[in-house]
Amino acid sequence: MIANTKENIDLSLPFRGSRGLYNFNSGPSILPKEVFDEAARAVVDFNNSGLSILEIGHRTKLFVAVIEEAIATLKELMQLDEEHEVLFLHGGASTQFFQVPMNLLDEKRTAAYTDTGIWGSKAIKEAKLFGGVEVICSSKDKAYTYLPKDFVINKEHAYVHITSNETVYGTQWHDLSPFYNSGVPLVADMSSDILSRQVDFNGFDLIYAGAQKNIGAAGVNVVVVSKRCLGKISRSLPSMMDYRNHIEASSLLNTPPVFAIYVCMLTLRWLKRLGGIAAVEGQNNEKAELMYKTIDDLPIFRGTVEPEDRSKMNACFVTTGADIEKEFLSLCEKEGMIGVKGYRTVGGFRVSMYNALPLESVKAMTDLMKHFAQTKG
């Protein structure tokens, strides 16, 4: 327990999750305790079948019921129309960096990409293998600490690609209207903010997201795709890369990551019981407001992103010096604050506040920050 100093701050840090820790990892990340509990039981005996979830056949009624519930629940939460299909595929978002242009971009056409961080940059690199790419805006000039506001989307573009939330640098597109209103098919990497806020998901032609932040366990990728954007390219596609084949096979074209999809189903079930996206968005706003207010109120810390572009999922900040940074990181480790070190190429600190992270964890972190600031005068 940390000793109190100049003001009455609760530093007993009572909420430490199910294992005595505060999990701020950026991904794989925290999941709801009830999901862990149910998944643990299923590893031993799934639905009283006498079999583990790890050994059931993927085409059996046992698993088909799982993936059907996962798809139906995700469609309900996102309020998807009949044109949109939900797929659970192998590989993370990095696979989608090339699968998207492989399916949507011809060699004679050009796609528009926004360069707002590491993941957007990687997506651009892969897309160039399949057709023309125009980077319509970039924030690289200021180390990706803001989102560009002045850009033009040409109606001749095959599609426009955005990273809705930049996990490494901590930026988030809050105003999506320029993309919705462009009249161009919209593609988004939503790996780190999917299901965290209410948006018009039907306004996107394709959404992809690694599951390991807000949807479930690592090992599966969620793709939401409108059927109207498929089948418009001239190239032949490998069977496993063609979204249409996965739609026809209901994500069972080959053996899927059964356990990862099961955890997704449990997490989606949890979110639905919680009250859906609207309910969790309110909680996420409260967590982000507390976190950023603390950063701004303490001179020893400094947020690295322009305030209007700050992510509500990943709060990135630094301290006033390298020695202080090491000292604060050491204190975080001592107090069970896991995963707060910034991305390896960026440094500083990153507090990830995904759907399953309780407000109590953010309160514990902000109390620790206040205490640390007091000890430094």
Q: Are residues 223 and 213 in the same domain?
A: yes
The residue that leads in pLDDT, 7 or 229, is: 229
Q: Are residues 247 and 334 in the same domain?
A: no
Q: Are residues 269 and 319 in the same domain?
A: no
Report residue 12's pLDDT band, with 50, 70 and 90 as the boundaries.
Answer: low
Q: Are residues 203 and 63 in the same domain?
A: yes
Last residue of a domain, one of 229, 254, 274: 274
**1-5, 139-143, 208-212, 219-223: lowest mean pLDDT where?**
1-5
Count how many Cα atoms sit within 13 Å of the Cα of residue 35 in the half-sphere of its side chain.
Answer: 26
Q: Are residues 135 and 177 in the same domain?
A: yes
Residues 6+ away with beta carbon under 8 Å from 75: 84, 86
What does the pLDDT read at residue 65? 98
Q: Are residues 115 and 190 in the same domain?
A: yes
What does the pLDDT read at residue 106? 93
- 8 A C-beta contact, residue 343 and residue 168: yes
Report residue 2's pLDDT band, with 50, 70 and 90 as the boundaries.
Answer: very low
Residue 29 falls inside a structural domain: no
Q: Number of folded domains in the chain?
A: 2
Model confidence at 377: pLDDT above 80: no
Report residue 376's pLDDT band, with 50, 70 and 90 as the boundaries.
Answer: confident
Cβ burial of 160 (10 Å; 0-12, 13-18, 19+) is buried
* Percentage of the chain exceeding pLDDT 90: 91
Residue 156 falls inside a structural domain: yes
| Own/partner long-range contacts of 277-284 (Cβ < 8 Å, ≥24 apart) | 277/77, 277/78, 277/195, 277/196, 277/197, 277/198, 278/198, 280/195, 280/196, 280/355, 281/196, 281/197, 281/198, 283/355, 283/359, 284/196, 284/197, 284/312, 284/313, 284/353, 284/355
Residue 338 falls inside a structural domain: yes
Report residue 8's pLDDT band, with 50, 70 and 90 as the boundaries.
Answer: very low
At 241, which CATH number? 3.40.640.10
What one-letter code names the amino acid at 376?
K
Averaged pLDDT score across all residues of the chain: 94
Cβ burial of 294 (10 Å; 0-12, 13-18, 19+) is buried
Count how many Cα atoms sit within 13 Å of the Cα of residue 339 in the half-sphere of its side chain.
Answer: 19
| pLDDT tens per residue, range 294-341 | 999 999 999 999 999 999 999 999 999 889 999 999 999 999 999 999
Cβ burial of 196 (10 Å; 0-12, 13-18, 19+) is buried
What does the pLDDT read at residue 5? 41
Model confidence at 15: pLDDT above 50: no
| pLDDT tens per residue, range 140-164 | 999 999 999 999 999 999 999 999 9
Instruction: Confirm whether 227 is a catalytic residue.
Output: no
Q: What tokens were used for 120? A: 């957007």
Last residue of a domain, one of 274, 298, 320: 274
Q: Are residues 151 and 228 in the same domain?
A: yes
| Domain enclosing residue 363, as ranges | 17-24+276-375
Total length of the chain: 377
Q: Are residues 105 and 240 in the same domain?
A: yes
At 331, which CATH number? 3.90.1150.10
Cα separation, 87 vs 100, in Å, equals 13
Q: Which of 115, 173, 189, 363 is catalytic?
A: 189
Q: Which of 115, 119, 312, 367 is catalytic?
A: 119
- 8 A C-beta contact, residue 214 and residue 194: yes
Q: Are residues 154 and 201 in the same domain?
A: yes
Model confidence at 18: pLDDT above 70: no
Average pLDDT over residues 203-207: 98
Instruction: Confirm whether 45 is a catalytic residue.
Output: no
Relative to beta strand 314-319, strand 221-226 is unpaired
Model confidence at 84: pLDDT above 70: yes
Model confidence at 3: pLDDT above 50: no
Report residue 347's pLDDT band, with 50, 70 and 90 as the boundaries.
Answer: confident
Q: Which of 115, 193, 205, 213 is catalytic?
A: 213
Residue 4 falls inside a structural domain: no
The CA distances from residue 7 to 4, 278, 373, in Å, are 7, 36, 12
Q: Are residues 159 and 235 in the same domain?
A: yes
Cα separation, 357 vs 350, in Å, equals 14
Residue 233 falls inside a structural domain: yes
Instruction: Confirm whether 173 is a catalytic residue.
Output: no
Report residue 13's pLDDT band, with 50, 70 and 90 as the boundaries.
Answer: low
Report residue 72's pLDDT band, with 50, 70 and 90 as the boundaries.
Answer: very high
Q: What is the Rg, in whole angstroms, of the alpha carbon atoms belonging to the chain?
A: 21
Report residue 16's pLDDT band, with 50, 70 and 90 as the boundaries.
Answer: low
What does the pLDDT read at residue 6? 42
Residue 7 falls inside a structural domain: no
Last residue of a domain, one of 252, 274, 296: 274
What does the pLDDT read at residue 345? 81
